[in-house]
Structure 1
């Protein structure tokens, strides 16, 4: 095995080191904002220079890449706390999915479970590659040292690499827990405190990113395969579990009978304007939401399982199964429309919130999914998983791009104009977009109870806090901050 590190490997390692430093600067110095787009620019520049040409799966690759950039742009354009947290996980997953996809053979079926195993394998192979590279680097640096001594030095360096960050964390915790221990530590020699522990932690983080990027990008073209039998089963969608067609028909007939009876009994108020006797708006809406959960967890799951696992026996049985699938989808659609209408009534009575808007959006997504599934029942050549993955990705990206908090603010302000009711405490719990809603409400009704006090405290908080670092730059924050600081709020100036 060649232990000499070649020039091109050194150059790529230095590129990944720069990328690791960029990742540390982008994500660990301040709240994420424009920094995500800056990092993605550097990352994909390294990827495209590394591979240059020969990318496969270009159409789906471009779709995924577009979604990645739109999701990252949401950190710059909007300030939604929910999607801020979700995208910390979603974007890295999509980036890994994307780079593995475009560097995989064109014959690879990305819509099969085997692709997830391929992604996991690339992470493991990347870590192993980086470990081997570090061993080669160490051997090259200490090639004039005897083997026993070099092994000892390697283990000592590894101990320092792991131990120093641990000591820093543990010492800080112990100092916080015990005042006497803190006093003793503070009297230790001054040179210990001259060490910048934060710099050490940031250096370690940058190195971890560096070797992670370096290892994974180096093995993307690796053709190592899974065990042959596992690969065949996953590619062909085979499963050790299968259902008999007669059994499936029996289950579907029973389910459809229950759902059909349920729909017939409740049809009089499914699409009516009023409430069912004995229920408040809240109870009525919650019952509709649980129907939606039932549709999602039971009907959709059973449909997918039947379409994938049922062994059809004969043309007549096949036709009966398709009719049962279709009926189940139609009844599920009735329930979705019912739940959608109930939630609309609830919003009209109690206002708009993030949970309610997301529930509405999810219902629309389910209607699209059920519609495609209905088509798939009769056109068997269509692929289910491909559509679900693409539709799910586009749905999630659309939620980020739509600026849901702005919709919530606009709808609640419109409801205030019509009814005079609004929940200012909920608006205040939102991000900067909620503050913008409070500012608009203040212009509409400056005497609304507690509103001026709320805005005053927000204004004072902004005055006392300096502007964010460049990593956190966000258009919404900047605009709302300027508008709030321009307000003349003197009523509580002496409070």
Structure 2
């Protein structure tokens, strides 16, 4: 019910945080309140001990709430969409758990399945509660709800007509009831009910994924894995050694190469090197799973080959980040460039974790730590306000500023326009003012970024510009 009332489907806002907190509290209450069977219920033949969730489950639950809370502070829709997708993964980890990548992937599919399996379970529970309430007292729920709504409506209308301030506050709190609003309420109620029911179902009967946590598969002979990976290491080493000028030559390499532009140097090489990094992580995961490690010689060879490959890949990560930094300094920063650079930096961190895991060969903690690092990176990006960073970075350049692109950013970028020349800044502020005026917020969609943008526009936009470049 709280989700149906407070969740804004068309924007980021505080309603997402309210819904996340309400759902978390509901699950906590359902875990605390003891089960009380009906007197007519027979004694169960088998009693299972209550499942005790691991401590990291609480951390994943907190991460889920934190990711949904980003919508309260940042108005960038692309950023909140990424947080929302990541919240589905952390929520699945909180409910189903999982240590290896296979277990995490299996656990990720379980909340949607549990949502539909919980329908009959919730229906049975509701019937039992109704029977218990009718046995305790003849409580007429429908009449109670009708009387409550009638009293609130009558006295609310009288208070609103008596005081203008209360009437304005009530108009912001109470939505305009219409057919689309009712449809949205019903839709959100059903979806939230399924999500919460699936979460309660998994909390009551958590799955056992320990059988999927084994990270070792069928082993292959030493020759079968060492030769391909050894050749790959040689290829990486030759690339890093021979193309050192291409990797880190910077301005000098671009200027000395005929027909090579900054765009060709930075943009072209970055995507290839990023794909190389991602593909190398897959190769490392496969080698760690199928390479034998029973003998000391096998373990030593595994450390040398995989460690060298991971180290060379780290150099390639540095090259890719260098190329993107040069490209951003030359042509400006965009959302895609910033996001992909953050992904490349996360790849580098995962490679460092792979090197640390190679000390003991076996590292069941690696997938969860890598996901946690991704969550922290995304929360850190939200805290840094990426749209404002993009605006400030592009304005600080000595070259021409793409004002049209700055106008496509979210209102989070408004505080970063302070150093822009007054004429173009007024044009951008007027454009953001039109966007905010055409999409007003009620309390469900309140957002700190949009609120700050409105205050800056009211303070600094003294006159509406008549001619914009």
Q: Taking structure 1 as the reference length, what is the TM-score of the superposition? A: 0.71
1:483 aligns to what?
456
2-structure distance, mates of 1:123, 1:309: 32
User: Equivalences for 1:131-150 in 2 at 5 Å?
Assistant: 131=120, 133-134=122-123
Paired residues of 1:275 and 1:281 also in contact (CA < 8 A): no
Task: Provide closer, same or farther for how the CA distance between residues 460 and 410 of structure 1 changes in structure 2, counting only shifts above 3 A.
Answer: closer
2:278 aligns to what?
297
SS at match of 2:228: helix
Paired residues of 1:253 and 1:324 also in contact (CA < 8 A): yes
- Pairing 1:235–2:213 present: yes
Paired residues of 1:433 and 1:480 also in contact (CA < 8 A): yes
TM-aligned CA deviation for residue 367 of structure 1? 1.9
User: Equivalences for 1:279-290 in 2 at 5 Å?
Assistant: 279-290=260-271
* 1:468 paired residue among 425, 441, 444: 441
Select between 125-134 and 472-481 the one with higher mean Cα deviation: 125-134
1:375 aligns to what?
356
User: Equivalences for 1:329-348 in 2 at 5 Å?
Assistant: 329-348=310-329
The C-alpha deviation readout for 1:395-435, integer Å capped at 9, x for no partner, is 233222322222222222322xxx15321111111100233
2:91 aligns to what?
95
2:381 aligns to what?
399
Task: Provide closer, same or farther for how the CA distance between residues 117 and 46 of structure 1 changes in structure 2, counting only shifts above 3 A.
Answer: same
SS at match of 2:422: coil
1:153 aligns to what?
none
TM-aligned CA deviation for residue 282 of structure 1? 0.6
- Pairing 1:60–2:56 present: yes
Paired residues of 1:71 and 1:401 also in contact (CA < 8 A): no
The C-alpha deviation readout for 1:426-482, integer Å capped at 9, x for no partner, is 1111100233334x244xx2245xx5444434434545x373111110111111112
2:466 aligns to what?
492
The C-alpha deviation readout for 1:81-115, integer Å capped at 9, x for no partner, is 212222333324423432444xxxxxxx5446335
Task: Provide closer, same or farther for how the CA distance between residues 58 and 400 of structure 1 changes in structure 2, counting only shifts above 3 A.
Answer: farther
Paired residues of 1:126 and 1:215 also in contact (CA < 8 A): yes
1:366 aligns to what?
347
2:138 aligns to what?
none
- Pairing 1:38–2:34 present: no
Larger RCO (CA under 8 A, 6+ residues apart): 1
TM-aligned CA deviation for residue 391 of structure 1? 2.1
Task: Provide closer, same or farther for how the CA distance between residues 426 and 381 of structure 1 changes in structure 2, counting only shifts above 3 A.
Answer: same
2:226 aligns to what?
249
TM-aligned CA deviation for residue 35 of structure 1? 0.8
1:426 aligns to what?
405
Task: Provide closer, same or farther for how the CA distance between residues 458 and 32 of structure 1 changes in structure 2, counting only shifts above 3 A.
Answer: closer
- Pairing 1:114–2:103 present: yes
TM-aligned CA deviation for residue 348 of structure 1? 1.3
TM-aligned CA deviation for residue 256 of structure 1? 1.4
- Pairing 1:390–2:372 present: yes
1:166 aligns to what?
none
Paired residues of 2:335 and 2:387 also in contact (CA < 8 A): yes
TM-aligned CA deviation for residue 250 of structure 1? 0.6
SS at match of 1:243: coil
1:446 aligns to what?
422
1-structure distance, mates of 2:30, 2:127: 25
Select between 57-66 and 273-282 the one with higher mean Cα deviation: 57-66
1-structure distance, mates of 2:231, 2:9: 58
* 1:217 paired residue among 196, 200, 205: 200
2-structure distance, mates of 1:83, 1:302: 30
Task: Provide closer, same or farther for how the CA distance between residues 99 and 312 of structure 1 changes in structure 2, counting only shifts above 3 A.
Answer: closer
Select between 371-380 and 387-396 the one with higher mean Cα deviation: 387-396
Q: Taking structure 2 as the reference length, what is the TM-score of the superposition? A: 0.75
TM-aligned CA deviation for residue 289 of structure 1? 1.0
Task: Provide closer, same or farther for how the CA distance between residues 472 and 129 of structure 1 changes in structure 2, counting only shifts above 3 A.
Answer: closer
TM-aligned CA deviation for residue 23 of structure 1? 1.2
1:17 aligns to what?
none
2-structure distance, mates of 1:337, 1:414: 24
Q: Please list every run of 5 or more consecutive structure 1 residues that lacks an aligned counterpart in the other structure.
A: 1-20, 102-108, 143-193
